Amino acid sequence: MKGEKILSLQNLTMNYGIKNVLTGIDLDVFQGQIIGYIGPNGAGKSTTVKIMLGLIDGYGGKVEVFGQDIASGDPSYKRRIGYVPENAEAYDNLTASEYLIFTGELYGMDRALAEEKAIKLLHEFDLGEVIHARLSSFSKGMKQKVLIISSLLHDPDLLFLDEPLSGLDANSMMIIQEILSQLAAQGKTIFYSSHIMDLVEKISNRIVLLVNGKVVADGSFEELQERSKEGSLAQIFNQLTGFTEHKNIAERFVTIVQEGNGNA
Ligand SMILES: Nc1ncnc2c1ncn2[C@@H]1O[C@H](COP(=O)(O)OP(=O)(O)OP(=O)(O)O)[C@@H](O)[C@H]1O
């Protein structure tokens, strides 16, 4: 049984000048789904997510979030969304708790509640010692944990994650994977973009493959396997994106690297 329709993209297009980045995406996402949104570099994944978040204008087609057309001008749907951006310009001069209180308030949270939850969540991620340290002193993985907390602090119904595990160690990755499964089991919807294929394979209950701004595959991992007769998601990805060239490209690359040093 399908839950409520949370996202609906209808013939979504986007051009940058003469470049057609999204060429007609149709996609319905239902409550509780964990969508792995994958595709080659430059396929248009971040562009799709930013359109749904209301960060990019000028698209064609229709985008509905929680059943509401986002072009209607009512931004209240954003309070029910959490977002982990690919490249967060985190506010490096703020401390972890200041940053989380700030973003919590942006989502309409009461300051005291934001602070209380932020401190508890930082402790859970082993950041209890650095609650009042500036983000500029944090490692990549520590910053990533703060971004993940900031996307969840207001208990959103829909979560957009752009390469959320980047920089995280194996133990932290396991925790995040488990958090995502538990959130989905409780009816939250997760839209997850990553290049780490074995994680996408494990975490998603539906995989959507974007190539050149169009959806070329959409189904569970088992359905994609059935269709392409390949074993792993990385192999399916290679096949469906028509890629067989990695050895040749690597050979040419190494040859060029060695040019001029007497080894070529
Ligand atoms: N502001 C912009 N102006 C012009 N072109 C842009 C802009 N933003 C993105 N593009 C182009 O749109 C295409 C899709 O970019 P996008 O960031 O959505 O890809 P992606 O699938 O998220 O890639 P990656 O896997 O590398 O993160 C790329 O060709 C990119 O150069």
pLDDT (tens digit per residue) in 156-203: 999 999 988 888 999 999 999 999 999 999 999 999 998 888 888 888
Q: How remote is the CA of residue 3 from the centroid of ligand 1, in Å?
A: 32
Residues 6+ apart with CB under 8 A from 100: 114, 115, 118, 121, 122, 146, 149, 150, 153
List ligand 1's pocket residues with C-beta within 6 A.
16, 21, 39, 41-47
Q: For residue 141, give the amino acid letter.
A: G
Averaged pLDDT for residues 109-132: 95
Q: How remote is the CA of residue 48 from the centroid of ligand 1, in Å?
A: 10
The domains located in the chain, with CATH, are: 5-255 (3.40.50.300)
Q: For a ligand 1 pocket test, name from 38, 46, 50 the mutation site with the most ligand atoms within 8 angstroms of its C-beta.
A: 46
Q: For a ligand 1 pocket test, name from 15, 20, 22, 47 the mutation site with the most ligand atoms within 8 angstroms of its C-beta.
A: 47
Q: How remote is the CA of residue 112 from the centroid of ligand 1, in Å?
A: 38
Quick check: helix, strand or coil at residue 23?
A: strand
Q: Given the DSSP bridges, would you call strands 214-219 and 189-193 parallel, antiparallel or unpaired?
A: unpaired
pLDDT band at 87, cuts 50/70/90? low
Q: Which atom of ligand 1 is nearest to the CA of 47?
A: 18
How much is the pLDDT for 1?
46
pLDDT in tens, 196-208: 888 888 889 999 9
How much is the pLDDT for 90?
59
Express as a percent the part of the chain with pLDDT over 90: 65
Considering only residues 217 and 88, tell me which one the structure prediction assigns the higher pLDDT: 217
Q: Which atom of ligand 1 is nearest to the CA of 49?
A: 18
- Evaluate the CA torsion angle 239, 34, 191, 61 in order and state its sign: positive
Q: How remote is the CA of residue 36 from the centroid of ligand 1, in Å?
A: 18
Q: How remote is the CA of residue 44 from the centroid of ligand 1, in Å?
A: 6
Distance between CA atoms of 155 and 164, rounded to whole angstroms? 17
